Chains A and B, each alone.
Chain A
Amino acid sequence: MSDKPEKFIDENGLRLDGRRVDEIRPMKMEIGVLSRADGSCYLEWGKNKVLAAVYGPRELHPRRLQKADSALIRYRYNMAAFSVEDRIRPGPSRRSIEISKVSREAFEPVVLTHLYPGAVIDVFAEVLQADAGTRTAAINAACMALADAGIPMKGLVSACAVGKVDGQLVLDLNKPEDNYGDADIPMAMTSDGEITLVQMDGDVTPEEFKQAIEMCKEGCRQIMELQKETLKNKFTKLEDVEISDDEEEVDVSALVESTLEPSGDDVEGEEESEDKSDDDADQEEEVEDAGEDSVDEPGPESEDDEDEDLDSVESHSDFEAVEMVEDFEESFTDVDEEDATEDEDDEEKA
């Protein structure tokens, strides 16, 4: 381990690693890296290497841990044994338990846990290589993994630290600054600047602290830009931006709606229409859909309350499809119909 450097900031105002005092280390991240997890993110920040995964919402055992009206969030910050110079014993330590707790609390204000009563959202952050600022790196990665898992959040959370060396505040501490600096203030913030994590050790004046918040805010803003970019580029990279047929989108929204308010009565009454022949039902939809398309294309937003109807019509289409399947299985008449269309199909081809 290196001894304390004489000076942390040179005459040009540059730090040991060549950064300015208000500059963060280079960061890169990638989402969707683990096949088993519901959401995941790999993040490198300076020499930090962090892997975060989200599992859930999922069933929580034992039952006594369940919260009746919301999901529990569990956050596990864990350092790999080989992530630091001197090997550390695997498993939780007092340090990692504390970090896990405050990091969890950095997310609790933004995650809509009440949508999943009794369930658990597990967030695992593995520090594969540590180089100062691992808890903030883990929070940045965990936020991306949560978004990747489709967890509803009021906004993203970004985190970074401000410290003090040579009597001066610096953004995003490197290892020597962390080891020998006079203060370390890690913070996490939401997109609208609310602070969801703040810790501090060391020695700063109230004025310095105020300035530290401003620096942190700027650091978090930059990180959030990177987070946004990563999320938005995930699909453009695959040339998949063009998002298809409008109708199907509305289908999904009916689903999302049922996700958000698990009452699902928009589907009530579909039973009666079961007797209707499939043809009729589908034609009906066809008309509705055509109507939607024409609304969509010219652009003017109709400000009425039509969408409730649309949703029910659209979820209707889900159900109709399912029902068609049943009919198909149940009666041979339907099979004949299918064959008939197949014949037409061949004719067309010819």
Chain B
Amino acid sequence: MGNQVMSVLKKDYIYNLMLKGQRSDGRAFDEIRDIEIRTNVIEKAEGSAWIKMGGTEILVGVKLQVGTPFPDSADQGVIITSMELNPIASPDFEAGPPKENAIEMARVTDRGIRESGAIDLNKLCITEGEEVWMVFIDIHVLNNEGNIQDVSSLGAIAALLTAVVPGEREGRGEDMPMPIRDMPISVTLVDIGGEMMIDPALDEETVCDTRITIVSNQDGSISGMQKSGDGALTEEKLLKAVSLACQKASELREAHLLNI
């Protein structure tokens, strides 16, 4: 089947709901779906989180290895984020190397973590210029019911918060907790018929032509942004989206990350 073609009836349905200020799952425009996070679910990983937002389920695993630093940042650890839109997660995903959507979302998640300085990379240096910790963040999408982007980014930070640097196992000193300084959170909105809706469910994501993701930090600063889709946004809408995203990110942080 697949969802490549959405019926006009369904599009009309979503559009008409929008006109009445409603969404197909009964949420308000600025309401995020229910979130459930379980951490340390994969004992073999240095950190892990199973996260469910609405019906979207993602498993994030963090692994650390000793590697060589990049020449231009000889005293810093390395973050490598990858995402697979696994065919297990949707009839629309195919096996094979990551395609543009997966790469885009992995990179947005990666930039959020990197640019916010969420991980203190200097603390991940073992011997300057020679050995540093490489942090692999692998995002495994298990079930796609929309907004993989935000679920991934929240899952990644949750997994990082539980991660332990395996000094002992690798013979590089003692174990230490992952040096986390910030908790960047991405919040995505879609534009449907001129209204912005937060945390799009699958049918909303399919029907919309513009999507905007904003990654913001604990102090309210913004560390990443991505517009995606073949539509356009007005300046006013973009600014509104940014302020809503920052507010929602802070609520999410409060509700789901501070207790990890």
Contacts and interface: CB of A to CB of B under 8 A. Distances in A.
Interface of A: 34-37, 47, 49, 51-53, 55, 58-59, 76, 78, 80-87, 90-91, 122, 124, 126, 128-131
Contacts of B57: 34
B192 to A, nearest CB: 22
3 A-B pairs with the lowest CB-CB distances in the bound complex, closest first? A82-B61, A87-B63, A81-B138
A102 B187 CA distance: 43
B82 A36 contact: no
Given A49-B42, A76-B87, A124-B87, 12 more contacts: A37-B143, A55-B87, A80-B61, A81-B61, A81-B82, A82-B48, A82-B62, A82-B138, A86-B63, A87-B136, A91-B97, A128-B42
A126 B87 CA distance: 10
B143 A76 contact: no
A190 B84 CA distance: 33
Contacts of A131: 44
A78 B95 CA distance: 10
Contact of B144 (A36, A55, A78, A126): A36
Given A76-B95, A80-B59, A82-B62, A58 B82 contact: no
B122 interface: no
Contact of A81 (B87, B89, B136, B145): B136
B142 A129 contact: no
Residue from B48, B63, B136 with most neighbouring chain A CB atoms (10 Å): B63
A214 to B, nearest CB: 33
A126 B31 CA distance: 32
Contact of A53 (B42, B88, B97): B88
B74 interface: no
Q: Is the interface of B mostly helix, strand, loop or mixed?
A: mixed
B145 A36 contact: yes
A56 to B, nearest CB: 9
Contact of B55 (A35, A49, A122, A126): A35
Nearest to A56: B91
Residue from B91, B95, B142 with most neighbouring chain A CB atoms (10 Å): B142
Contact of B142 (A51, A78, A85): A51
A85 B61 CA distance: 12
B65 A86 contact: yes
A129 B136 contact: no
Contacts of A83: 42, 44-45, 61
B55 A129 contact: no
A34 B143 contact: yes
A80 B87 contact: no
A122 to B, nearest CB: 7
Contacts of B140: 80-82, 126, 128
Contacts of B62: 82
B86 interface: yes
Given A81-B61, A81-B82, A37 B88 contact: yes
Interface string B139-151: 0101111000000
A80 B89 CA distance: 14
Given A78-B86, A82-B136, A87-B65, A129 B42 contact: yes
A126 B50 CA distance: 14
Contacts of A80: 42, 59, 61, 138, 140
A264 to B, nearest CB: 21
A124 B143 CA distance: 13
Interface string B18-58: 00000000000000000000000111110010000001010
Given A36-B89, A76-B95, A124-B88, A82 B82 contact: no
B90 interface: yes
Nearest to A85: B44
Contact of B44 (A51, A90, A124, A130): A130
A128 B88 contact: no
B5 interface: no
Contacts of B88: 34, 37, 51-53, 124, 126
Residue from A36, A53, A78, A131 with most neighbouring chain B CB atoms (10 Å): A36
Contacts of A34: 57, 88-89, 142-143
B255 interface: no
Contacts of A81: 61, 63, 82, 136, 138, 140
Nearest to A37: B88
A91 B1 CA distance: 25
23 contacts: A34-B88, A34-B89, A35-B143, A36-B144, A47-B44, A51-B88, A58-B1, A59-B1, A80-B42, A81-B82, A81-B136, A82-B45, A82-B48, A82-B61, A83-B44, A83-B45, A83-B61, A86-B65, A87-B65, A87-B136, A126-B86, A126-B88, A131-B44
